[in-house]
Amino acid sequence: MTPYGLETEQRREPLGLGERQPRLSWKLESDRRGAAQSAYRLTAAERAADLDAPDRLLWDTGRREADDGLLVPWDGPVLRSATRYHWRVEVWHETGAAAGTAQSWFETGLLHRDEWSAVWIGRDPALLPPVDPPGEDELPSPALASPPLYLRRDFHLARRPLRARLYATARGVYEPRLNGVRVGDVELAPGWTEYHRRLQYQTYDVTDQLRPGVNVLAAIVADGWWCGYVGFDARRPAQHYGEQPGFLAQLVVDFADGTRQVVATDANWTERPGAIRAADLLMGEYVDHRRQVPGWDDVAAAGTGFHPAGVLDTDPGPVVAEPDHPIRVTRTLPPVGVRRTGPGRHLVDFGQNLVGRVRLTVRAAATGHRIVLRHAELLADGELYVDNLRRAKATDVFVTGGAEVEVFEPRFTFHGFRYLEITDHPGELDPSDVAARVLHNDTPWTGRFECSDATVNQLQSNITWGQRGNFVAVPTDCPQRDERLGWLADAQIFAPTAGRNADVSAFLARWLRDVIDGQDADGAFRDVAPAVTLHREAAPAWGDAGVIIPWYLWRVYADRRALERSFPAMLAWIRHISRHNPDLRWRHRTGNAYGDWLQVDVSTPREVLATAYFARSTELVAAAAEVLGRPDEAAELRDLHARIRAAFVDSYVGDDGSVDGRTQTAYLLALAFGLLPQHLVPAAVEHLAADIEKRGNRLTTGFVGVALLCPVLTEHGRADLAYALLHQEEFPSWGYSIRHGATTIWERWDGWTESAGFQASAMNSFNHYSLGSVGDWLFGRVAGIDQTPTSVAHRELLLRPLPGGRLTWARAEQETVRGRVACGWSIADGRITVAATVPPGSTAELHIPTPDPESVCEGDAPAAGRPGILRVEPRAAGVALWLVSGRYTVTATAPAPVP
């Protein structure tokens, strides 16, 4: 048994950690059935070699009896700033015998505020007064009020350093440079947070970029979210956070003799305009290579057109270490088609709706040649469809400098697009000279689902690409138009699917702090986080993200700290609703009351949806109180939940099991949230099924209901309808959009239809993950990977593969916090084969669907009594096997096909 995947604060080898008591984790793998951890020992030292020297250890837990390694808090000596700590884990088998070891490291950032000697610098308004901003139809334009800053500082090193770290952040977005070379690979740093409460800094190892003698530290800083266009307000830049971009950084250089040199942002820095004349996240970027200053960020350009930078602020403000994975370029896509559409005009198809930017190589262009790049998700009559972008121009401009070969790639903007129009390109465009660069938070990809049906595989691909494109700084609603906000309902609905595809623990925990930061004094969350553009109280299902996501992080990742930090806000939200709705029907203080957003041809009563969420969130906060050892609050909330449930039944449920509105979503909420008396559940299921069947196996659910649709049908014995909806290719359905070329999830079922064409451009995104929340069901029931209702972090697996529809096989795997879990099935020649992997320390209840319990075999023998199989029990629809850890292949007589 071997530990692997070592993490500190849910990241591999983090540089610049801000937690003073970080948590350490590891996974386990073994080829032996029944393998489990019985104990561990953690040791730590400042040098890797000292881990083998007992007298040099900083921390030694000794042997501790424990059966997992999930988020074990550091309880060693107080951590020092800017220090690397190497750590090792040793584990023991369930038998008590020693097993494997593994080691990793983490490095602290600046843990104390007084360690910041840097001051905020930027453009000195007295020297370079800003010009008036252009009108929106002129963007991108070199006349922006805040053209990007090009900042630099010369400094001298007497000798080669032993170690050097750059700590940097910006009011805006920045790219650091050292001696003419870019530092690191982080994009759009420092990301987007509630800047008035938290502004993240990044840490870079720059030891190998320094040299004895003169060095140059430099940076380019653009408006970003700080003072660029944000959201859909028809307003000028700088009205959300500040008036102009700024930069804060300090380079800490340590030498072998124990001395230290610090180079910080201060009045000794200089600034000038550069080749990037304008940069805005929504509008685009304007680059003029005629204005390049070769070597501006190296020694050669000392003093060339630079002016003293202005000191904007001497207080560093609420700077914190970046706690999650940054934005990076994660892949580069070549075009699948390039078509010349006119003189100097080309249309490029990348074959995939994506989020990022374009890299264009231009050859032998005359000086001053202006090339325009426009981006769009779809075509209309062979041309770019850009109406749905609203105010966002999504346009980049490149003016050539006359070199034989020039490469244009914007730095401080991103677009949502599949298609690219290049205007005034000199000569023919070689497809190898253009590429799409995919940008998103680099959350580790941990899940995979596939099956025998190409359309379902395309659906899974669409879901994953939607996740990539909308996990950029915050979990956005859409990445292309003038919005790109962190809508709470979208995130809470999609979180279970997101966690199937990737490890989103650190990403969501960090964003959750923005959710809590937006809560008002009365306990109301906002619709979006960070809270810009929209400042009203959150709507039902939107504000409830402040409860649902912390509970999700506990259930899936065992993140107790996130639950503890969120609990006061969770409780305040419930008390806010209760205080303003004493009759326990949530109809007052409902914000914008979006209801089941973008449902089709029906209207679910908003009061029904709101009260159902009031009940659900109350139930979850009660459960959180129990986990956190708060019995009095748990009892209070359990009682409140019972009373809300009774009010729901009294007000909205008929004696025949009908629910007010009689929509699919109304029934789904009542069933999924356990709000119905048991004797009415079968009738409600029948009402739900009848509604689907009368519509020709079509759905009507919007953002809220769609996540519940297939799971509820499956749980209540109507997997046939769940599969019918999955395979449906007529409008409205997932298959309809795929049949018409979708490569991401659309915002609305009717984003484009054969009968009506494009929906209203005012709200018609073609990359919007909410309706892709079915992905959780694909992993959890189609392939079968789930956990029992009381399990935390996949300790007790519930593996329930569900053959059905037109599938002949399906499989999924996930890297959970305990290790790799896999489940899959196939049917051939009248036999079903189920393959399952259970990681060390976990157990599993595996359901085999079969009409013949006696036919169940593991390997070549009957399952009962096989190694690792604790017991076998017949079930109504097959057989249940209880497994210890290991890999299993089980066969049985195949079930009858689900229609």
Query: Cis omega before residue 496 (within 30°)?
Result: no
Across the chain, what does the average pLDDT equal? 95
Is the confidence at residue 134, as pLDDT, over 50? no
What is the DSSP pairing of strand 878-883 with strand 843-849? antiparallel
Average pLDDT over residues 35-62: 97
Split at pLDDT 50, 70, 90, the class of 233 is: confident
Average pLDDT over residues 525-546: 94
Is the confidence at residue 225, as pLDDT, over 60? yes
Residue with tokens 């090009």: 150
| pLDDT tens, residue by residue, 328-354 | 999 999 999 999 999 999 999 999 999
Split at pLDDT 50, 70, 90, the class of 234 is: low
Q: Could you give the CA distance from residue 10 to residue 817 in angstroms, rounded to a whole number?
A: 9
Is the confidence at residue 809, as pLDDT, over 70? yes
Is the confidence at residue 764, as pLDDT, over 60? yes
Q: Could you give the CA distance from residue 520 to residue 589 in angstroms, rounded to a whole number?
A: 13
Is 636 noted as a catalytic residue in this protein?
no
Is the confidence at residue 54, as pLDDT, over 60? yes
* pLDDT score of 129: 47
* pLDDT score of 132: 45
**CA-to-CA separations, 267 to 153, 207, 218, 696, in angstroms, rounded:** 10, 25, 14, 71
Is the confidence at residue 707, as pLDDT, over 90? yes
Nearest CA-CA partner of 858 in 838, 833, 837? 833
Which residue of the set 187, 406, 483, 537 is catalytic? 483
Which residue of the set 7, 537, 747, 813 is catalytic? 747
Q: Could you give the CA distance from residue 621 to residue 638 in angstroms, rounded to a whole number?
A: 9
* pLDDT score of 141: 58
Average pLDDT over residues 130-152: 61
| pLDDT tens, residue by residue, 638-692 | 999 999 999 999 999 999 999 999 999 999 999 999 999 999 999 999 999 999 9
* pLDDT score of 232: 83
Split at pLDDT 50, 70, 90, the class of 14 is: very high
Decide: 203 and 195 in contact? Cβ < 8 Å: no
- Alpha carbon 442 to its chain centroid, in Å, reads 9
Is the confidence at residue 235, as pLDDT, over 80? no
Is the confidence at residue 365, as pLDDT, over 60? yes
Full-model pTM: 0.97
| pLDDT tens, residue by residue, 454-486 | 999 999 999 999 999 999 999 999 999 999 999
What is the DSSP pairing of strand 796-799 with strand 843-849? parallel
Is the confidence at residue 220, as pLDDT, over 80? yes
Average pLDDT over residues 137-166: 82
Radius of gyration of the chain (CA): 29
Average pLDDT over residues 362-389: 96
* pLDDT score of 896: 85
For the chain, what percentages of helix, strand and coil (3-state, to nearest 5) are there?
25, 35, 40
Split at pLDDT 50, 70, 90, the class of 138 is: very low
Is 873 noted as a catalytic residue in this protein?
no
Is the confidence at residue 302, as pLDDT, over 80? no
Q: Could you give the CA distance from residue 891 to residue 751 in angstroms, rounded to a whole number?
A: 44
Listed in sequence order, the residues at least 6 apart from 430 whose beta carbon sits closer than 8 Å to its beta carbon are: none
Is the confidence at residue 237, as pLDDT, over 90? no
Q: Could you give the CA distance from residue 699 to residue 724 in angstroms, rounded to a whole number?
A: 10
Q: What token pair was written down for 393?
A: 């121009």
Decide: 763 and 747 in contact? Cβ < 8 Å: yes
Average pLDDT over residues 810-839: 98
